[in-house]
Chains A and B, each alone.
Chain A
Amino acid sequence: MTERTRIPLHRDPKVRALLIQVLALVLVVYGFYSLFQTTVDNLVARGIQTGTGFFDEVAPFQIGFSPFLDYTLGESTYIDVFFVGIQNTILVAVLGIVAATLLGFFIGVVRLSPNWLVSRGALAYIEIFRNVPLLLQIMFWNFAIFLPTLPAPKNSIEMGAFYLNARGFHTPLPVIEDATGFTIWLVLLSALIVGLIVFARRAKVRFEETGQQLPVLWISAAVMVIGGYLLYLISGSPLGFDVPVLGRFNFKGGGQLPLPLFSLWFALTLYTAAFIAENVRAGIQSVSHGQTEAAHALGLSRKDTVRMVTIPQALRVIIPPTISQYLNLTKNSSLAVAVGYEELVAVWAGITLNQTGQALVIIGMTVAVYECLSLLTSFVLNWYNKRIQLTER
């Protein structure tokens, strides 16, 4: 009897599952092993010993733009190139994220404006900018608009101490002139911030006890600006400004954003803002009308309804896809290759790879940097999603 009910081995689900998995694992491991082996063989045949030895060799090319790390031709090594690349990627990503968020929120809100013209205008913006390839937009702004139309350094467009010309965007830069004064200022500022945090806590306690509200945000902002400036004067004005000055060929001094960075930043901002605007619109529309009506019924003013009912619920929907857009923007900054901005892919996976031929190591490291960023993003996303999950009773 047991003979008849026993499942044949090839039909036992457990055995089959095990078999399939072992088979898959063996196939994948073998596939990787043979790929790796062929690659190393091929590299050896081309006279390239795969390894990290080239890190300490001096890089034979110049990198023109490196705002924070030092880079000198003839001294800096290949590994310095790698870090300069990461630095420039992060720089354009941060600048782009800030600008795209501001523009995107503005356009998303305008898209829902009761004014028909304005909302159609925002719609046109969104549909134009998100349906044209980003690379085309970057090249369009850089090669067709900025390069031919921006003036030479001599006739720069002047905006106060800011200058825009065909070489790039020049800004004044604060310089620490009095180190002790600067430290004193920082200490005083921190004390001010701590004071404001205490004030905000007190105001919240008071609100919960009495129901009276203080405009905490406005008070804090005013105190920060005015108090910060007074403390700056008290600590003896420790900062000076390095203003760009027109030299023989271009501006000297101050901060400089080279034109490729400016074009890339401009295009990334316009492109990503279109996507963020759509997220913002969808988020605001996702808050059901009953919520606003209920808030009105409770006697909340229009302003309080928006601030305490609509926005918190809309943000729940807006933030996750917006964080993904930030990651996309960072990945898209690799299109800088097209206009010659010196970020990771351009200087590392481009120039360094051509110079050394170390394909395996270089592409591996480039991919690893982006994978880290992507993992970091999904980590932040998961954390946020868990935090905002509705706690239902």
Chain B
Amino acid sequence: MSEVKTFVPAPDRAPPSNTLGPIAWVRENLFGSLSSTVATLLFFYLFFSYVPPFIEWALINANWTGADRSVCEANPAGACWTFINVRLEQILFGLYFASNPDELWRPTFIFILFFALLLPLLFEKTPGKKWLTIALLGVFPVVFYFVVYGGSFGIPQSNTTQWGGFLLTFALAFVGILLALPIGILLALGRRSELPVIRSICVVYIEFWRGTPLITILFMASVMLPLFFPAGVEFDKVVRAMIGITMFQSAYTAEAVRGGLAAIPKGQAEAAMALGLGYWKRTIFITLPQALKISIPSIVNTFIALFKDTSLVSIIGLLDLLNMAQTAARSVEWKGYDIEGYLFAGFIYWAFCYGMSRYSQNLERKLDTNRRN
């Protein structure tokens, strides 16, 4: 009699110790080959010869407190963040709000409201996203107008020319984004229209604005816009820049939306047609919602570009974030602290653009897997 043996596999042996753990990781990822080793060493050399001195200058030795430049002159080995500290209100909100402490609550309130509306939108599971979006795009601009521009409800009026710093950058970008969206959608629809005249008008419009550098458009807006209107009609410089930026941005938004429209299968429109829907019903209820959803990442990318491009208004003399930081660094009290000014302004721009680009990348990844399922 022979017993029936069941095969019992021996328990798995642990992988060799040299393929596990941090040492193995270092060996594979940092010293995998000769060239990789050389690259790692070179990287360490460059890193240690630049980064620690920079951190020492920017953080460890830096001057944070004080009220004038004597603090910084006493300790020239560190960055002078005192300058930013003293001029913070001016750099963020402009000269008018910085010199009227009673009015400071207005821009502060607006930014708190903006982030309170925006942040929940970034998370996937927030309930009532639709209402938040409507509040952000519809109600917020109205609140912005009444609080920052003022002129009613007992709030003193502050003209657009009195806005400055980050507030102006924000206003220019927000107006550009808000107004360019509907215009851009119409242009994108027009460019895909079957009517040759409508199509050509839209193509010419889009290609014209896309082919011209924004700075030329801003020159055009500041020099030629007054010429385009009969005498008596006047806009101030900020509104002129807003018009130029909106025109420019709408062409880029149109191209982003067109990409989305092109990605919707023809069957969707044909099915809608078979159900007896006319052009507008078909577009508004069937194709456009789907197209907008997939074009959100590219629309966000055009937002990023616009947010960076608002800095060009400093060339036509508006005191936006960049120009305000520069002006502050060239004032008599703080002459010579350009690097701090540029770094601070640069960091604000970077934080917003990087945040937006991460958001759009995540969205892109999510949309991508959705479509593969």
B28-81 with Cβ < 8 A to chain A = 29-30, 32, 36, 39-40, 43-44, 47
B89 interfacial by beta-carbon distance below 8 Å: no
B36 touches A114 (CB 8 A): yes
**Knowing that A42-B231, A117-B44, A331-B213 are A-B contacts, what are 7 other residue pairs whose CB atoms are under 8 Å apart, sorted by A's residue number?**
A28-B201, A114-B29, A115-B30, A127-B354, A139-B342, A143-B342, A367-B211
Alpha-carbon distance between A140 and B194 when the two chains are bound, in angstroms: 49
A135 touches B354 (CB 8 A): no
Alpha-carbon distance between A43 and B326 when the two chains are bound, in angstroms: 35
Q: Which 7 A-B pairs have the closest CB atoms?
A: A374-B211, A131-B353, A21-B197, A116-B29, A331-B213, A133-B308, A133-B311
B36 touches A115 (CB 8 A): yes
The smallest beta-carbon distance between B54 and chain A, in angstroms, is 13
Report which of B219, B226, B231 forms a contact with A363, defined as CB distance below 8 A: B219
The smallest beta-carbon distance between A327 and chain B, in angstroms, is 8
B339 touches A367 (CB 8 A): no
- Given A359-B227, A367-B212, A132 and B353 contact (CB-CB distance below 8 Å): yes
A194 interfacial by beta-carbon distance below 8 Å: no
Query: Which residues on the B side are within 8 Å of A39 (C-beta)?
Result: 224, 227-228
Alpha-carbon distance between A35 and B231 when the two chains are bound, in angstroms: 13
- Given A21-B196, A116-B30, A345-B213, A374 and B223 contact (CB-CB distance below 8 Å): no
Alpha-carbon distance between A144 and B44 when the two chains are bound, in angstroms: 27
Main secondary structure of the interface of A (DSSP, over half): helix
B210 touches A374 (CB 8 A): yes
Stretch at the interface among B6-14, B147-155, B343-351, B365-373: B343-351
B349 touches A133 (CB 8 A): yes
- Given A42-B227, A338-B315, A374-B211, A115 and B339 contact (CB-CB distance below 8 Å): no
Alpha-carbon distance between A50 and B274 when the two chains are bound, in angstroms: 56
Alpha-carbon distance between A230 and B57 when the two chains are bound, in angstroms: 54
Alpha-carbon distance between A20 and B211 when the two chains are bound, in angstroms: 28
- Given A38-B229, A42-B227, A144-B339, A133 and B309 contact (CB-CB distance below 8 Å): yes
The smallest beta-carbon distance between A359 and chain B, in angstroms, is 5
B350 touches A38 (CB 8 A): no
Report which of A25, A41, A345 forms a contact with B219, defined as CB distance below 8 A: A345
* Residue of A whose beta carbon sits closest to that of B42: A118
A17 touches B220 (CB 8 A): no
B338 interfacial by beta-carbon distance below 8 Å: yes
The smallest beta-carbon distance between A278 and chain B, in angstroms, is 11
Among B40, B47, B216, residue most surrounded by chain A Cβ atoms (within 10 Å): B216
B215 interfacial by beta-carbon distance below 8 Å: yes
Query: Which residues on the B side are within 8 Å of A76 (C-beta)?
Result: none
Alpha-carbon distance between A39 and B211 when the two chains are bound, in angstroms: 23
A118 touches B216 (CB 8 A): no
Query: Which residues on the A side are within 8 Å of B44 (C-beta)?
Result: 117
- Given A115-B29, A135-B314, A374-B211, A349 and B216 contact (CB-CB distance below 8 Å): yes
The smallest beta-carbon distance between A71 and chain B, in angstroms, is 22
A358-387 with Cβ < 8 A to chain B = 359-360, 363, 366-367, 370-371, 373-375
A195-231 with Cβ < 8 A to chain B = none
Pairs A–B under 8 Å by Cβ, sample size 9: A39-B228, A42-B226, A43-B227, A131-B357, A133-B311, A136-B342, A334-B213, A349-B219, A363-B223
A337 interfacial by beta-carbon distance below 8 Å: yes
B315 touches A359 (CB 8 A): no
A335 interfacial by beta-carbon distance below 8 Å: yes
Query: Which residues on the A side are within 8 Å of B231 (C-beta)?
Result: 42, 45
B230 interfacial by beta-carbon distance below 8 Å: yes
B292 interfacial by beta-carbon distance below 8 Å: no
Query: Which residues on the B side are within 8 Å of A21 (C-beta)?
Result: 195-198
**How many B residues, CB 8 Å from partner?**
52
Alpha-carbon distance between A133 and B322 when the two chains are bound, in angstroms: 9
A134 interfacial by beta-carbon distance below 8 Å: yes
Query: Which residues on the A side are within 8 Å of B196 (C-beta)?
Result: 21
- Given A25-B197, A115-B40, A334 and B215 contact (CB-CB distance below 8 Å): yes
A24 interfacial by beta-carbon distance below 8 Å: yes
Query: Which residues on the A side are within 8 Å of B30 (C-beta)?
Result: 115-117
The smallest beta-carbon distance between B162 and chain A, in angstroms, is 23
B-contact bits for A119-130, CB 8 A (1 contact / 0 none): 001000001100
- Given A133-B322, A135-B315, A367-B212, A20 and B43 contact (CB-CB distance below 8 Å): no
Alpha-carbon distance between A143 and B30 when the two chains are bound, in angstroms: 38
A334 touches B216 (CB 8 A): yes
The smallest beta-carbon distance between A213 and chain B, in angstroms, is 25
* Residue of B whose beta carbon sits closest to that of A45: B231
A115 touches B213 (CB 8 A): no
Query: Which residues on the A side are within 8 Å of B247 (C-beta)?
Result: none
A113 interfacial by beta-carbon distance below 8 Å: yes
B312 interfacial by beta-carbon distance below 8 Å: yes
A313 interfacial by beta-carbon distance below 8 Å: no
B99-136 with Cβ < 8 A to chain A = none
* Residue of B whose beta carbon sits closest to that of A115: B36
B207 interfacial by beta-carbon distance below 8 Å: yes
B315 touches A140 (CB 8 A): no
A332 interfacial by beta-carbon distance below 8 Å: yes
A300 interfacial by beta-carbon distance below 8 Å: no
B213 touches A360 (CB 8 A): no
B349 touches A132 (CB 8 A): yes
The smallest beta-carbon distance between A286 and chain B, in angstroms, is 14
B342 touches A24 (CB 8 A): no
The smallest beta-carbon distance between A148 and chain B, in angstroms, is 8
Query: Which residues on the B side are within 8 Å of A136 (C-beta)?
Result: 311, 322, 342, 345-346, 349
B208 interfacial by beta-carbon distance below 8 Å: yes
Alpha-carbon distance between A28 and B200 when the two chains are bound, in angstroms: 12
Query: Which residues on the B side are within 8 Å of A134 (C-beta)?
Result: 308
A132 touches B315 (CB 8 A): no
Query: Which residues on the A side are within 8 Å of B195 (C-beta)?
Result: 17, 20-21
Query: Which residues on the B side are within 8 Å of A41 (C-beta)?
Result: 230
B346 touches A353 (CB 8 A): no
B-contact bits for A4-47, CB 8 A (1 contact / 0 none): 00000000000001001110110010000001001101110100
- Given A21-B198, A24-B198, A144 and B215 contact (CB-CB distance below 8 Å): no
B224-251 with Cβ < 8 A to chain A = 224, 226-231
B349 touches A370 (CB 8 A): no
Query: Which residues on the A side are within 8 Å of B308 (C-beta)?
Result: 131-134
A-contact bits for B293-329, CB 8 A (1 contact / 0 none): 0000000000010001101101100000010001000
A113 touches B216 (CB 8 A): no
Query: Which residues on the A side are within 8 Å of B32 (C-beta)?
Result: 114-115
